[in-house]
Structures are given as C-alpha cells and as structure tokens.
Amino acid sequence: MQPLPRADWALFLDIDGTLIEHADHPEGVEIPEYLPDLLTVLQTSLGGAVALVSGRSIDWMDHRLAPARLPAAGQHGAEIRLAPDAPSVPIPTPKWRKPLEQTLEREMAAWPGVYIEHKPLSLAVHYRAVPESGDEIMAKVVEASARIGGEVEFLKGRFVVELRQSGHDKGTAVDTLMGSAIFTGRKPVFLGDDVTDEDGFRAARAVGGLAIAVGPRPTTQADFRLATPEDVRKWLGDIPQALERVPS
C-alpha cells in the first residue's frame, strides 16, 4: 500500500537506486528523458518543497537533471542549497582529502575493477566489479584512513565505501532544509534505497514525517516501500494529479 499524497508534504529524494537505476560505473547511469520534467512539475505541485539529497555533488545534479533545478544536499550533506536560486554552500575541504586520495589510489590498484570516485569533499571506493573482495577492501580503506588521520567517517553502501568528513549526513541535510523558508511547517517524506539513507529516514520520522524505502534492502524504519526506481518515478508522477483531487 502506498501513502496518499498531501499538499503539505516536503519530498526528499535520493538519486541512485531511488530516482534512477544503479549502474556498474557511477558515471554510467542513465537518466530517463522525462525525469527532469517530472521533477519540475512535482516541484510546482508542492510549492517548491522537493529536494534532492544524494551522495552526488550538486553540480552533477544540475548538469545531469537540467533544466530541473531544485533545493539540494550533495555529498551526503557536505554541501547544501536551500532554494533553486540560492548558492551551494560547501563545508571547507577536509585536510585529509588529498593525502587519502593519493594513498587509496595506490592501495586499490591491487584490485582491478575497483573505481575511486573523486568528489570535491569526499571519496567513494566502488567495488561492484569485485564484490567478493568487499570486506578486504573495506579493511584496507579503514587502515589507510587511520594512517592519514582526520575525522573520517565510513559508510558502507551497496558495493561502495564512502569516506566523508564526520558530522554531516543526509539526516543533518534534512534538518537544515526543513529550517528553510520553502520547507518549514511541512511534513518531510524521505525516499531512499541504501544504508546512507537511514539518517534521512530518522530525521524525517523524528518530526512526524515518513520514510519510504526503495528496493529489497532490510530496514526497520520504512513506513512504506516501493520496489524499484521505475515504481518511484511512476508514484511521483501521479502525485500532482492526486493532489488536484484532494479537497482544499
């Protein structure tokens, strides 16, 4: 059963595995042609209260989802844009970022097929090509980070290990966006598919909102579940018409 849309909702949308299907390489994802228009219509229907909350950078979102432009949190909350016409505000570049990048490039060369995604404020080690080595890769990443030092936080997702500055996550992103003019007073609804979305689930539910899990990954926080990104897109596409039928 799916939740009935409400005009006072604020939607927070993960991207990979939620709005779009995963790909073997993070730059190999396909964006459905109709998705930017879908997001723009949805944004209008909810008074602008639709945000992207992703491990992707905000620049990536703007480029790949153009002409749609939404409030956004990028790199797991390390950068925030409170409104479509507002600037993106990033945290300072962590001191550990460059030396750890160089160390991981050397260490991960032992596993052909492992790809290190270089984000401005974080790193992501993708091992979808060698999933059987996930535990060994994770251990090596933690060991390398300990040698470098710094307040590094690890997130193990679906065939990926994310390294980011501690203190920022999708939950803090939701809290920040909910305090802005577009979102204040609304009911947050967070859609996500991976362990990195659990913080967003918690933040939404803590203030009376909803958590909608996507895909089969177990979670104790989901109020509802959608099976695939295609199902997510269909459900989101139905919201504007559904809201027109809601008595004012």
Q: Write down how long the chain is.
A: 248
* Torsion from C-alpha of 105, 90, 65, 217, nearest 10 degrees: 70
- Cα–Cα distance list, 36 to 71, 74, 81, 131, 184 (Å): 14, 17, 18, 32, 24
Preceding omega of 67 cis (within 30 degrees of 0)? yes
Neighbour order of strands in the sheet with 152-157: 115-118, 123-126, 160-165, 152-157
Q: Which sign, positive or negative, has the C-alpha torsion 16, 101, 143, 168?
A: negative
Q: Read off the tokens for 58.
A: 């905000």
Task: Determine contact, residues 15/76, Cβ cutoff 8 Å.
Answer: no
Residue 181's closest CA among 48, 80, 25, 31? 48
Return the H-helix or E-strand segment holding 67: none
Is there a catalytic annotation at residue 62?
no
Residue 120's closest CA among 60, 52, 169? 60
Q: Read off the tokens for 178.
A: 């909910």
Catalytic residue among 14, 169, 175, 194: 14
> Could you give the residue numbers annotated as active site?
14
